[in-house]
Structure 1
Amino acid sequence: MSDLPKHSVSVTGVVVRPDGRVLMIQRADDGRWVPPGGVLELDEAPEAGVVREVLEETGIEVKPERLVGVYKNMALGVVSLAFRCHPVAGGPRESDEAVAVEWLTIEEATAAAPEARAVRILDAFRSDGPFVRIHDGTTLLLEQTVPH
């Protein structure tokens, strides 16, 4: 059994307000600006996980709308399911994982985020997904524009 590959599954919430602004956090561990998210619990549905993670990191309760894509960090074996969400309650606040929480324009959000995270934001504004993409944690390794 120890020869089996080990993967971690996480969720990302691309939270979009009616005015088009995107919820972003500045991570406490590496200072990067990214959409909120984290590791899915073993007994948790993906949609419930994204609601929990966004609330824990930002103080904002969300409702998932649709799956944006599946993104695999090839270096770490982490598969992230990204969901476009909209806010339903709460207000932005910092947390142990987020030293800053801001509503940014799509241009500001994608400029601030590493390419592997920025593409999730861009994909959330497209209607021809969901997408499957691979990356090394920062940069896309294979650009796939065909939805799956």
Structure 2
Amino acid sequence: MSLHSVSVAGVVVREDGRVLVIRRADNGAWEAPGGVLELDEQPEAGACREVLEETGLQVEAVRLTGVYKNMARGVVALVFLCRPVGGEERTSSESVEVRWFTRSEIESHMTEAYAVRVLDALDLEAPPVRTHDGRRLLREPTASGSGIAS
């Protein structure tokens, strides 16, 4: 039986609409802060912990905004819309830069597989389920509006 890894990420949105992103230390990619969900951890708490660890900001999870699977690596990611509630921005061993991106910066600086997580959080009311190969989406949600890929 194969095993999957579960990750969580927080799409943190400021009052001005800008979104918190990090430049990862391991590969230099821009992404929403996130990481592996611990075995004894609730998903929302894991997303908030990861944001704090990677950015120094305390956040509150508002709602689940999507479920994403990296088919190449077997990682299922749960993404949550979050709002900042405290702390101070800083980098960490996992993030070499912390910034607040506009929508156009998200679209131009992030790979499709990670930009869609942020854009879904900003645009959709129902969480979609999407699959990707680590860079590109493999299929879109069904036209039924359910947000679930068949």
Whether these two folds match at TM > 0.5 is: yes
Aligned partner (choices 15, 18, 32) of residue 15 of structure 2: 18
Percent identity (aligned): 60
Instruction: Give ranges in structure 2 of 5+ residues lacking alignment.
Output: none
Q: Secondary structure at the match of 1:83?
A: strand
Q: Bigger CA drift: 89-98 or 105-114?
A: 105-114
Q: Bigger CA drift: 123-132 or 34-43?
A: 123-132
1:44-73: CA deviation from partner (whole Å, max 9, x where unpaired): 000000010000000000000110000000
Q: Secondary structure at the match of 2:28?
A: coil
Output the amino acid matched with 1:112: H
Q: Which residue of 1 aligns with 2:112?
A: 115
Q: Bigger CA drift: 72-81 or 126-135?
A: 126-135
Q: Which residue of 1 aligns with 2:128?
A: 131
Alignment pair present for 1:84 and 2:65: no
The aligned length equals 145
RMSD: 1.0
Output the amino acid matched with 1:101: V
Task: Extract structure 1 runs of 4+ deviating beyond 4 A.
Answer: none
Q: Secondary structure at the match of 1:125?
A: helix
Q: TM-score, normalised by structure 2?
A: 0.93
Contact 1:123 1:129 in 2 (8 A): no
Instruction: Give ranges in structure 1 of 5+ residues lacking alignment.
Output: none
Distance 2:80 2:104 in 1: 19
Distance 1:100 1:128 in 2: 30
Alignment pair present for 1:99 and 2:87: no
Contact 1:110 1:121 in 2 (8 A): no
CA offset at residue 127 of structure 1? 3.5
